[in-house]
A = this chain, B = another copy of it.
Amino acid sequence: MTSLRRALPVLCLLSLPVLAADPLPSWHEGPSKHSILEFVQAVTVEGSEDYVKPAERIAVFDNDGTLWTEQPAYFEVLFAFDEVKRLAPQHPDWKTTQPFKAVLENDHQALAQSGMDGLLRIIGATHTGVSTEAFIDNAKRWLKQARHPKTGKPFNQMIYQPMLEMLDYLRSQQFKTYIVSGGDTAFMRAFAEEAYGVPPEQVIGTNFVTRFQFNNAKPQVIRTAKLAHNDDGPGKPESIDAVIGRRPILAFGNSDGDLQMLQWTAAGPGRRLMGLVHHTDAQREWAYDRHSPVGRLDKALDQAKTQHWTVVDMASEWRRIYPFEPAVKLQAQ
């Protein structure tokens, strides 16, 4: 009787994930799902030695390649190209000036030749010189009209169903979910609340210097072409420190640009979860890692292996990629 009384709470604890409705139905019963469920249980069950107070349950997620697709190119770059075309009538000189000419003529070779400098000029011309509100309107308009070249779907539908479930699950367990990503902060705010349930104040990204000024007696915050913060690599723990002021207990990324965020998360005291989405599914999404120009995953993959971080094998661990796909039937486990 005594031993049964002692054993009961333990049994209840162990069986909790089985008895409750599955919070991650699009995840196969693999090692990643197990590590997520086990971690969340460990830090949320009161009395557990790994218990973390709700206020300190900070979870950070990269966006491109972690919450939505980043192929064949970062969606924000495709937005910038489309904006060059939309804005071209106001800039007749673009017809004869690189890199704009290359965009207007779909000249991939000339565009590639313009390199990172060319890309930054395109970003500057399409992302700055307007108020933040006007820029977000531009991004929202594009998201309504533009379609992904492979799936024909709006870009903000090319989000990962398993990650949506994870975000929802974490929030149901009183986690505060943040996006910490190299994308432009305002660009991500144009869709993050609707797509992911992440409100504007929990979106952290790359920022331009802004300037408060009056325009016809109306105050505005204008985006200038000067970069304020590049939220990639070491910029991620730096912005987490500046904006959140707490160290996350969970971090998820998919590329070497997320390595420092994962290291920063891992180095805190107590129980932590570090995860990588590994793009291994050439059929349903894309397969790429160490040699990809977009979302290169090389050093972070090595470190994940030596540090026993969670590496999600997209092909074998995700039942479904996008919300618009039918759910795959349960396999016999």
Using CB atoms and an 8 Å cutoff, list the residues of chain A in contact with chain B: 55, 58, 132, 176, 185-186, 189, 199-201, 203, 207, 210-213, 218-219, 221, 228-229, 234-235, 237-238, 241-246, 260, 263-264, 267
- On chain B, the residues within 8 Å of A229 by CB distance are 228
> A246-B201, A263-B219 known; A210 and B238 CB under 8 Å?
yes
State whether A267 touches B219 (Cβ < 8 A).
Answer: yes
> A264-B219, A267-B219 known; A211 and B234 CB under 8 Å?
yes
Q: How many copies does the complex hold?
A: 2
State whether A212 touches B238 (Cβ < 8 A).
Answer: yes
Shortest Cβ distance from A136 into B: residue: B245
Kindly provide the distance from the CB of A3 to the nearest chain B CB, expressed in whole angstroms.
43
State whether B260 touches A237 (Cβ < 8 A).
Answer: no
State whether A246 touches B200 (Cβ < 8 A).
Answer: yes
> A219-B237, A221-B237, A263-B219 known; A245 and B211 CB under 8 Å?
no
> A207-B242, A221-B241, A264-B219 known; A212 and B234 CB under 8 Å?
yes
Shortest Cβ distance from A207 into B: residue: B242
| Contacts A201-B244, A221-B238 known; 7 new A-B pairs at CB < 8 A | A58-B201, A210-B238, A212-B238, A213-B234, A221-B241, A221-B264, A243-B243
